[in-house]
């Protein structure tokens, strides 16, 4: 007798809702007692090596409006170009730098602010050095799958011009969508989800 093999049906998809902030940034949602501060809120301390910088980011939709309910995570190397990861094969990263941050947008302005250090250069898969950069993951209402992009530094023109990722982009006129200009010690980076200035996103 043939055995019946019932199969589970795929769960219907939904857009990312408020649970993203409730689960990942409870203090931001005024839910206290889960963590002293939201995970990823602080990337460094007074002993962290490297140049202190600030990243100010905004997520902008296809109409040019600021998305105020998004959430961003960033990853980057330390000042020596090493990742704070057990799988880092090149050496030990700065123990006083997490290399990872998570922020919800400011409820009024929609700005994400990360206090960090400028990262060092890391090798690409073929050994070529990449320009200093920050990897970014974005989620928000209406984004079913998180978007991946990068932020490069506007004061690194020579490194950017030789970067193996930037130089591999098919449409070189879109490279500026990945580069953040610097004012003082702050890099300002706008992430455009759609439209004429749409940021380059990566399928990783």
Q: Render pLDDT for 94-139 as a digit per residue (tens, 0 to 9).
A: 999 999 999 999 989 999 999 999 999 999 999 999 999 999 999 9
For 137, counting Cβ atoms within 10 Å of its Cβ (0-12 exposed, 13-18 middle, 19+ buried), the class is: middle
The predicted structure's pLDDT at residue 17: 58
Domains and CATH numbers, the chain: 40-192 (2.60.130.10)
Q: Which of 146, 161, 187 minimizes the C-alpha distance to 57?
A: 187
**pLDDT digit string, tens, across residues 9-67:** 777 765 555 567 788 899 888 898 888 999 999 999 999 999 999 999 999 999 999 99
The predicted structure's pLDDT at residue 3: 65
**pLDDT digit string, tens, across residues 132-163:** 999 999 998 878 789 999 999 999 999 999 99
The predicted structure's pLDDT at residue 176: 98
49's tokens: 């090596």
């Amino acid at each position: 007798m043939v055995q019946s093999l019932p199969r589970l049906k795929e769960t219907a998809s939904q857009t990312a809702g408020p649970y993203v902030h409730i689960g990942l940034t409870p203090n931001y949602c005024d839910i206290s007692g889960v963590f002293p501060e939201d995970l990823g809120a602080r990337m460094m301390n007074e002993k962290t090596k490297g140049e202190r910088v600030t990243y100010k980011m905004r997520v902008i939709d296809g109409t040019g409006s600021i998305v105020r309910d998004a959430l961003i995570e960033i990853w980057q190397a330390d000042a020596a170009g090493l990742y704070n990861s057990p799988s880092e094969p090149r050496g030990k990263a700065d123990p006083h730098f997490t290399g990872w941050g998570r922020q919800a947008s400011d409820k009024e302005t929609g700005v994400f602010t990360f206090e960090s250090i400028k990262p060092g250069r890391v090798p690409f898969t073929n050994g070529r050095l990449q320009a200093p950069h920050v990897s970014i993951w974005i989620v928000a209402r209406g984004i079913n799958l998180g978007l991946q992009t990068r932020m490069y530094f506007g004061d690194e023109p020579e490194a950017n011009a030789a970067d193996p990722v930037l130089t591999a982009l098919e449409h070189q006129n879109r490279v500026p969508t990945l580069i953040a200009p610097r004012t003082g010690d702050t890099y300002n980076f706008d992430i455009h989800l759609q439209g004429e200035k749409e940021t380059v996103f990566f399928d990783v």
